[in-house]
């Protein structure tokens, strides 16, 4: 009978330990789910269309699952045709997955002017819904470097595709 009691006691202790571990893992999972469900993550980035126009765009996108509210974007260096637009300081709502795009010129034209900045610090301020019904303020800052695009040589109005065709069909290259 003592062996049976000992086995039952060990089993009970094992079940208690397993239950405590299960509760801790469940609590962590619920916290992560709440965080992921409510955390908005708007990001501003640059994009260069790889088409004939080679347009440079600045993009503001909400990568998070929650809405970003009352967005304000600040640039440390003024970017012509971009930083003075009202969309960067007066945006009330950016839904999950939504993005805004603003074309600010062709790459080859932008980099011809040495006064145009190639680096800027971008700060995005916004509000998001927290665990309660109150809005929480967030600020994200990061450096943006356009010098990588500057190293891509865009010649005149000719597209990269047209240049590749000329190289491919040039009889001297055979």
- How many C-beta atoms surround the C-beta of residue 51 within 10 A? 10
As a whole number of angstroms, the distance between CA 22 and CA 30 comes to 12
- How many C-beta atoms surround the C-beta of residue 83 within 10 A? 20
List pLDDT tens digits, range 10-29: 889 989 999 999 999 998 88
**What DSSP character marks residue 80?**
T
As a whole number of angstroms, the distance between CA 119 and CA 89 comes to 20
List pLDDT tens digits, range 141-160: 888 888 777 766 555 555 55
pTM of the model: 0.60
87-107: average pLDDT: 84
Q: Please state the φ and ψ torsions of residue 13, each to the nearest 5 degrees.
A: -60, -45
3-state secondary structure of 163: helix
- 125: Cβ contacts below 8 Å, ≥ 6 apart: 71, 72, 73, 74, 137, 138, 139
As a whole number of angstroms, the distance between CA 24 and CA 46 comes to 42
């Amino acid at each position: 009978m003592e062996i049976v009691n000992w086995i039952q006691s060990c089993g009970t202790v094992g079940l208690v330990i397993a239950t405590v571990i299960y509760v801790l893992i469940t609590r962590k999972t619920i916290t992560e789910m709440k965080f992921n469900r409510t955390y908005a993550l708007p990001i501003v980035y640059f994009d260069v269309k790889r088409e004939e126009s080679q347009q440079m765009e600045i993009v503001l996108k909400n990568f998070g699952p929650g809405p970003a509210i009352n967005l304000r974007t600040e640039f440390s260096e003024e970017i012509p045709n971009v930083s003075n637009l009202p969309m960067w300081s007066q945006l009330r709502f950016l839904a999950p997955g939504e993005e805004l795009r603003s074309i600010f010129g062709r790459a080859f034209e932008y980099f011809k002017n040495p006064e145009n900045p190639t680096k800027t610090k971008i700060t995005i301020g916004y509000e998001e819904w927290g665990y309660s019904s109150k809005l929480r303020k967030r600020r994200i800052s990061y450096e943006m470097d356009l010098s990588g695009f500057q190293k891509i040589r865009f010649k005149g109005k000719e597209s990269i595709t047209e240049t590749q065709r000329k190289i491919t069909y040039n009889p001297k290259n055979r």
